[in-house]
A = this chain, B = another copy of it.
Amino acid sequence: MGQQRPPLLCDVAVLERTATDLSEKFSGFFPEQTVYRYVFESHTALRRTAKVKTHVVSLTRQFAIERLTALALSEGAIVKTVPEVLFVCVHNAGRSQMAAALLHHHAQGAVHVRSAGSAPADTINPAVREVMSEIGLDLAQEFPKPLTDDVVRAADVVITMGCGDACPIYPGKRYLDWELTDPAGKSAEEIRPIRDDIDARVRALLAELVPAAT
């Protein structure tokens, strides 16, 4: 009949502490129950695609904070002070991570950036991390995240990259589709021109969104 598995009470306890902590952080914005559901749904969504489960519990906190912030922004509970940009690719392991890091870097706070994937990979492409660290951008704290409705809703500009029409289309947002070579399986040498292509596009976008920032 198959084996019985022991409950990982430790993970659940950490998630519950995270939920309690974020309930306080987001009190006034969301009821406790909403925060709890977000924390546990975020955990399940990350865990589905993660091969190494040991990091999932700690990444859940960061992912849930990003989602709850996006939700509060899209519902008008937090006032938007800068344009919100969302980059979406298939794995959220290469193109959208590079674009997000580059835009965040150049914008210096004048734009808020998020990224997500239609089929998130387990980890960020190591060769992508390498070519980004060459230009002084560290992706060590980043991780592939599934595309969720809240981050689409919070965005003013949605930029898709090779993920087809995976992203829901809402009125009042600007949708762009960037045709870029997929860095999956490519060497650092092959990824450098992709990085530089993204860099040029990101700078042009920033100049358009916030002329004063460039």
The reply to whether A171 and B9 contact each other, CB–CB distance below 8 Å, is yes
A44 x B177 contact (CB < 8 A): no
Please determine whether B1 and A176 come into contact, CB atoms closer than 8 angstroms.
yes
- Answer whether residue A174 sits at the interface, using C-beta atoms and an 8 A cutoff: yes
Give complex CA distance A175, B1 in Å. Answer: 11
A93: CB under 8 A from chain B? no
Which residues, 60 to 103 on A, are CB-close (under 8 Å) to B?
71
Interface residues of A in 1-19 (CB under 8 A from B): 1-9, 11-12
Are the CB atoms of A205 and B1 closer together than 8 Å? yes
Q: Mark A182-209, 1 if CB is under 8 A from B, else 0.
A: 0000000000000000000100110000
Number of interface residues of A (CB under 8 A): 51
The secondary structure that dominates the A interface is mixed
CA distance A176 to B5 in the complex (A): 7
A37 interface residue (CB < 8 Å to B): yes
A23 within 8 A of B: no
Within 8 A of B (CB), among A91-132: 118-119
CB distance from A203 to the nearest CB of B (A): 12
Q: Which residue of B lies closest to A88 (CB)?
A: B48
Given A7-B171, A119-B49, A148-B44, are A2 and B166 neighbors across the interface (CB < 8 Å)? no
Cα distance, A34 to B205, chains bound together (Å): 35
* Contact status of A171 and B4, CB under 8 A, knowing A44-B149, A149-B43: no
* CB atoms of B37 and A169 under 8 A apart: no
A5 near B169 (CB under 8 angstroms)? yes
B118 pairs with A49, CB closer than 8 A: yes
Q: How far is the CA of A174 from the CA of B49 in the complex (A)?
A: 23
Q: Are B1 and A201 neighbours in the complex by a CB distance under 8 Å? A: yes
CB pair A174 B4 closer than 8 Å:
yes
Question: CA A150 – CA B4 in complex, angstroms?
Answer: 21
Which residues on the B side are within 8 Å of A45 (C-beta)?
Answer: 45, 146, 148
Q: A residues engaging B (CB < 8 A)?
A: 1-9, 11-12, 34, 37, 40-41, 43-45, 47-49, 53, 71, 118-119, 146-150, 152-153, 159, 165-179, 201, 204-205
